[in-house]
Amino acid sequence: MKLKRFARVIGTNLIILTAGLFFSGCVGIQQTYPGQSLPRDQIAFIKTHDHPRQGFTLEMIDCDGIMIQHSRASGFTHTSFAFSALPGKHTIKFVAIGFAGYSTGFVPVGRCDKDFTVEAGGTYLATGNLTNTGLSVDIVKTK
């Protein structure tokens, strides 16, 4: 009886741990400033997300010259990324990534540089629009 309970507890914990590792690889917050992490009220978050109806994923690739790392676990693209930044004006480079087919995979389909000012404690959402003339990005404060 005790062995079954022990196995059930271990099994449940392994499932939770595996799910946590999977989702932490797919969705992440990356610091875009040097040094130690700062408290939430001293930084801002900028989030990006997929645009499935337009067939692309919006990714932030650079903030003030600091390259952003992306992870694509098992070929799945992320559904959301959040980036922390210090308050003030930033130059953010975005790229739209689209799926070009199984032989080619994911490729850049548009690029955009955006100058934007963030406030401490704020959360911002970056959305993209891909047209014949290229990629445009809007960033709005959500909190």
Q: Per residue in 114-132, pLDDT tens?
A: 999 999 999 999 988 888 8
17 assigned to some structural domain: no
124 assigned to some structural domain: yes
98 assigned to some structural domain: yes
49 assigned to some structural domain: yes
Q: Give the three-class secondary structure for 69.
A: coil
pLDDT one-digit tens code per residue, 2-20: 656 654 545 444 444 444 4
Which pLDDT band holds residue 74 (cuts at 50, 70, 90)?
very low
Residue (of 98, 91, 104) closest to 59 by Cα position: 98
- Domain range for residue 92? 28-141
Q: How many Å from the N-terminal Cα to the C-terminal Cα in the chain?
A: 51
Q: What integer pLDDT is reported at residue 14 of this predicted model?
A: 42
Beta bridge partners, 38, equal none
Q: What integer pLDDT is reported at residue 114 of this predicted model?
A: 93
Q: Is the pTM of this model over 0.95?
A: no
Residue type, 31: Q
Statement: residue 1 has pLDDT above 60: no
21 assigned to some structural domain: no
7 assigned to some structural domain: no
Q: What integer pLDDT is reported at residue 122 of this predicted model?
A: 95
Q: What integer pLDDT is reported at residue 15 of this predicted model?
A: 44
Interstrand relation of 106-118 and 88-99 (parallel, antiparallel or unpaired): antiparallel
Q: Mean pLDDT lowest for which of 55-64, 65-74, 81-90?
A: 65-74
Higher pLDDT: 79 or 110? It is 110
120 assigned to some structural domain: yes
37 assigned to some structural domain: yes
Overall number of domains in the chain: 1
pLDDT one-digit tens code per residue, 20-46: 433 344 445 788 888 899 999 999 999
Q: Are 130 and 110 in contact (CB under 8 A)?
A: yes
Q: Are 88 and 120 in contact (CB under 8 A)?
A: no
